Structure 1
Amino acid sequence: MTRDKQLMMKELPETERPREKMLEKGVKALSNAELLAILLRTGTKNLPVNRLAEQLITKYELSGLANISPPELSKTTGIGLVKAVTVIAGIELGRRLSLKEPGERPIIRSPRDAADLMMAELRYETKEHFVALLLSTKNHVIARAIISVGSLNASIVHPRELFREAISYSAAAVILVHNHPSGDPMPSQEDISLTKQLVEAGNLLAISVLDHVIIGDGKYVSFKEKGII
């Protein structure tokens, strides 16, 4: 059985061997399934590794693989715990690389800048994360502070938690960011009410709340663009 698994990749046609394809054409030429197949390394006696990778992506999508646990993934036929750990570690490494900031602090010039900064970090979270981007007088991001992590449908935010962070970093302004696990970034009435409450509290402290950006699955809504702030 072990020998059979080792031969699975060799038995594929040349054009279907992802490692050889990457060496010949470069990593950007590979599909998501082919990249996943490289992490998996082998399939089963009856299922080539490329097909196994395709089945995983069909079943979970990349967003699902980013959140599944190794024990759960290892329940799939052809994937033991070692393979599951390897796959999830590879996906997490890619996610962290996408979050890596350049040496210079990013500047927020538009709602799109805020959304781009937080999209990779928040779009696949299964709970609501409420984050504050703490800004200098020139809108450089001083820090990103997680204010709360809520349930599937709601997060609990109190003004004192938000502005304690802003004051500790001597922030001149803040941008609120949170995700909707449903993937739909349209604000709820609770989102709007909370935002207005935080804007009022910021005015009392002379710390401007410049925007509230809600992150969905690859899309966002800006309260500033919508005229809510």
Structure 2
Amino acid sequence: MSATTCNETRKKNVPYYDRPRERLLREGAGHLSDAELLAILLRTGSEQETSFELAQRLLATFGDLRGLAQASHAELTRLKGIGQVKAIELHAAFELGRRLLGGSGQRRASIRLPRDVAELMLPELGHLTQEHFVCLFLNTKNHVIGKKTIFVGSLDTSIVHPREVFKEAIRCSSASVICLHNHPSGDPTPSREDLAITHTLREAGELLGITLLDHIIIGDARYVSLKEQGYL
């Protein structure tokens, strides 16, 4: 069997999770894992390893996406399957991400009022059909230094755990956190579950010395700030 025929057969037999481009088109980028998004950037693997498998190996080597983003050019190119071009493309992609979130080379978003948060996040969360729980991590000057989607799906205190929120806050060396989630119904009125999650996160933050500044619920071009409502 020729190499071309082998590659074609392999492509037909690639599992669903190994076809991230198709998943992105069907479900949107927000539903893809870190490895799947990386596989799209890497584009191709080898006869022995798909781009998805290469992406998984990269994440395993550097611990996680943050570790990979901080890897040097030499560290990347020492790995089998990562040449000069792929390393450069990864550096460029991570730098764009840092700039989008207010990293080096760009003015960081400054948060003064709940309205600032809503204006920043409404374009991202206002149109989603599933609930997304997102955290913004701020420094002592209330500049956004990081952002992470903690959970996708119906919110529950057993799922949105303080451990996941504050683990990332500690890694970012953030002084405070702002939590947001959307209501796909379009009505941003807080539920009892929303209030319970806020209470739990506030108490956890107090123990760690990281302030929960606000929990903002995004609706259809509207928002509710639990701080403004007196819950924080």
TM-score normalised by length of structure 1: 0.55
User: SS of the counterpart of 1:157?
Assistant: coil
User: SS of the counterpart of 2:228?
Assistant: helix
Quote the offset at 1:189 in angstroms: 0.4
User: SS of the counterpart of 2:147?
Assistant: strand
Q: How does 1:54-73 map to 2 (within 5 A)?
A: none
1:142 pairs with 2:141: no
Q: How many residues align?
A: 133
Q: Hey, what's the Cα distance between the residues in 2 that align with 1:157 and 1:123?
A: 20
Amino acid at match of 1:213: I
Q: How does 1:169-208 map to 2 (within 5 A)?
A: 169-208=172-211
Deviation beyond 3 Å, 4+ runs, structure 1: none
User: SS of the counterpart of 2:109?
Assistant: coil
Q: Hey, what's the Cα distance between the residues in 1 that align with 2:101 and 2:204?
A: 30
Q: Hey, what's the Cα distance between the residues in 1 that align with 2:196 and 2:182?
A: 16
User: SS of the counterpart of 1:181?
Assistant: coil
* CA deviation profile, 1:174-206 (whole Å, cap 9, x unmatched): 001110011100000010011001000000000
Quote the offset at 1:163 in angstroms: 0.2
Gaps of 5+ in 2: 1-24, 28-99
- For the aligned residue pairs, the C-alpha RMSD in angstroms reads 2.2
2:120 maps to which of 117, 120, 123? 117
User: SS of the counterpart of 2:227?
Assistant: helix
Quote the offset at 1:101 in angstroms: 6.4
Q: Hey, what's the Cα distance between the residues in 1 that align with 2:222 and 2:115?
A: 10
Q: Hey, what's the Cα distance between the residues in 2 that align with 1:136 and 1:215?
A: 23
Q: How does 1:1-229 map to 2 (within 5 A)?
A: 103-151=106-154, 154=155, 156-229=159-232
Q: Hey, what's the Cα distance between the residues in 1 that align with 2:26 and 2:177?
A: 34
Q: Hey, what's the Cα distance between the residues in 1 that align with 2:183 and 2:26?
A: 21
The higher radius of gyration belongs to 1
Gaps of 5+ in 1: 1-67, 71-99
TM-score normalised by length of structure 2: 0.54
Quote the offset at 1:130 in angstroms: 0.5
Q: Hey, what's the Cα distance between the residues in 1 that align with 2:101 and 2:221?
A: 19
CA 1:176–1:101: 2 relative to 1, 3 Å: closer
Quote the offset at 1:69 in angstroms: 5.1
